[in-house]
Structure 1
Amino acid sequence: MIRNFILQHKIFFITVLSLLLVKVIWVAWSCWGNGSFDKEKNDLLQRKNFLVSKIMVEPRKLLSEMPSGIGLQFQGEWALYSCSMQTEALSNLAGLYPETKEESITTIDSLIQIVKSSELRLYDKLRWGEDPLESLDGEDSHVSYLSHLAWMIGNYRRIGGNTKYNQLHDSICETMNRRILKSPILNIPTYPDEPVYVPDMMVAIVALSDYSALNNGKYSSTVTGWINRAKSEWIDAKTGLLVSFLDNNGQIEAPIKGSYSALNCYYLTKIDSTFAKEQYERLKTHFCQSLPASGIKEYHDRTCWLGMDIDAGPIILNLSPSGTAFAIGSATYFSDTIFRKSLLRTAEIAGHTIKWNDKRNYLLGDIALVGEAITLAMRTNVRKR
């Protein structure tokens, strides 16, 4: 019996070591080209093909791709984010690989149509009690839905799309600008009776910044005013990072989250590169973890070996899946190659790439499609020169 016991344990030990060895080899092979956009080209374009096949569907089908357990509101939000981040990725790819530009314009056009659909607008309509596109003359915020749609239209126009959405773009940005300026704290809530989620506001500021670049500086004063107040009023005293939440009086609410901070840093690369760089370095100082895997922690002031957060995802060994993915965006923008490679290795360890025909995706992409879209947008966030 003792010999059998020892033999069984040896077999188990050898099996585990073999699986680990296979995983190490797989990760090394999957990540070998990271760091060069020439070498990453096939990988990125094949991931784009996967996302197009999954997102470019009827709105109801897209919503059904979102996990049912997260509820109607988050299904809507995740579908919206999937479309907006896919749009951002396509715009980035058109810059990296100009031969993809015409295809990107056509695909973004279709993505805008999906986001404009009544099915995608429903989650926001239910929370506010009115349709976001049918109430542009009203006073309620709708900032999350409207800002993502405006950001998508801005991308469409910037890479050469026609004028078909110009009027809608004008109306949405005028509405957001008016509602933001009417607020004493220069911030408006995502939903009624909830705090201001700063990353949601950041999308509105990015969208207005994009609009300004396309329209001779219109609304640039709002963008500049918001950034100036952010630098002076909305900074966490312990970390120096832009806060994650504000109450309706503009007071800072705890906690500072790694996922939100990494997302804030990414959006800042679209508006103020100097401020973005400062925030990125602070993010690495307070939230970066190297062992046992490289990435962004969800909490800078406590340990969480295993947890769950609707925004961060499953927290394992302190690491925030969303925070780690969003940090790739800043690492790409600032050409922080070593850190970017380490983040992509972590993504590969956790996600495990699968490939067939001309498509490639992380295995987890079939469960959390939004994560796949986010990661592609972050990997292609190259600084425009």
Structure 2
Amino acid sequence: MPASIGTQFQGEWALYSCSMLSASLVNISQLYPETKEENIQYIDSLINIVMSSELRYYDTMRWDEDPLESLDGDESHVSYLSHLAWMICGYKQIGGDSRYDKLLSSLCGTMNRRLLNCSALNLPTYPGESIYIPDMLVAIVALNQYADMNNGKYRSTVKKWIKRAQKEWIDKKTGLLVSFLQENGNQYDGVPVKGSYSALNCYYLTFIDETFAKRQYETLKSLFWKDGAISGLKEYYDRTCYLGLDIDAGPILFELSPSGTAFMTGSATYFNDNGTRNDILTTAEIAGHTVRLNNKRHYLLANVALVGEAIMLAMRTHFK
């Protein structure tokens, strides 16, 4: 990962590169069952990368304790733990063996306990910072997939979170899930909903509650979508930003959010919104520029941000 973004974001980008590639391989295994055995091996390798001390250092650094050596503790570590759990669920989903079963049980048990011990039913990604809803949703996805494989265990927590989300964490101006919450779980006043976060929220919701996900996607599209020579998702619905820089959204150009546009591909694919999906893929080609080498395709932009290529592969293959 680029050294210029610093240790924390290097770790986050590496984590997302691995988890999104893992999600891609699960999708590809369902689309092309003959690839399952090979993809199981790839996901196994990715899980081991994520479990390495080098990758999890970014989270250790922020919490002043190792996320895998403190599962009996009470600190959050929700982003790191949830992505790892989600990857193991994917490994199991396409036929992986039992080597990670004990770890997955511990990860999900820990996240469930920490969530229920918090009156806000949300956990911060890092100490002293806001609650980031997309990070929380990965935990809910992992718990929901664990419930699918374990007779509904932790499903009550998933349902409780979704119920509270629809009642308490909807932005009044847009009707979308908020991007951030205060540490106590309350909404902020005047903090805008971000297109990049909302698109990622919609993607994760497709794994949990299809009806809620569809409503959120349609609302997002009605407010944030921008048609044009280069179509895409705006980062802000109520203010103009022709040029900006955001570590999560990417370089905002002519109001468009690179990350938000990429994440929106997932829901457009899932809900068969082929017109929007095709427009996004055209924009991705203009921005990312595909090259073909040895019968393989690669976005040149991924030489700068590999995580973007992993995300686009996961989103492009997220068929229902």
TM over 0.5: yes
Choose from 240, 255, 261 the match for 2:175.
Answer: 240
1:319-334 aligned at under 5 Å gives the runs 319-334=256-271
Measure, in 1, the Cα distance between the counterparts of 2:272 and 2:180.
Answer: 29
- Once residues 114 and 349 of structure 1 are traced to their aligned partners in structure 2, the CA distance between those partners, rounded to angstroms, is 32
Return the letter of the residue paired with 1:100: T
Residues 1:205 and 2:205 aligned together:
no
Give the aligned partner of residue 256 of structure 1. Answer: 193
Helix, strand or coil at the partner of 1:252: coil
State the one-letter code of the partner of 1:163: S
Q: Which residue of 1 aligns with 2:103?
A: 168
* Structure 1: distance between partners of 2:295 and 2:164: 47
**DSSP 3-state at the match of 2:245:** strand
Q: Deviations over 1:123-150 (max 9, x none)?
A: 0000000000000000000000000000
Distance 1:250 1:107 in 2: 38
- Rounded to whole Å, the distance in 2 between the matches of 1:211 and 1:316 is 39
1:374 and 2:311 correspond:
yes
Moved over 2 A (4+): none
Displacement, 1:358? 3.1
Whether 2:32 is the aligned partner of 1:132: answer: no
Equivalent of residue 85 in structure 2, options 125, 143, 150: 150
**Alpha-carbon RMSD:** 0.6
Counterpart in 1 of 2:202?
A: 265
TM-fit CA distance, 1:293: 1.7
Give TM-score scaled by structure 2 length.
0.99
How far apart, in 1, do the equivalents of 2:269 and 2:165 lie?
24
Q: Sequence identity, in percent?
A: 67
- Where in structure 2 are the equivalents of 1:202-351 lying within 5 Å? 202-253=137-188, 254-351=191-288
Please list every run of 5 or more consecutive structure 1 residues that lacks an aligned counterpart in the other structure. 1-65
Unaligned regions of 5+ residues in structure 2, if any?
Answer: none
Matched, 1:123 2:58: yes
Q: Deviations over 1:258-312 (max 9, x none)?
A: 0000000000000000000000000001100002421100011111111100000
* Rounded Cα–Cα distance in structure 1 between residues aligned with 2:108 and 2:184: 24
For 1:265 and 1:346, the matched residues in 2 are separated by: 20
The one-letter code of the counterpart of 1:260 is: Y
Larger radius of gyration: 1
Q: Distance in 2 between matches of 1:272 and 1:381?
A: 15
Secondary structure at 1:373 match in 2? helix
What corresponds to 2:298 in structure 1?
361
Which residue does the alignment assign to 1:57? none
Moved more, 103-112 or 291-300: 291-300
Alignment-derived partner of residue 126 in structure 2: 191
Superposed displacement of residue 382, structure 1: 0.8
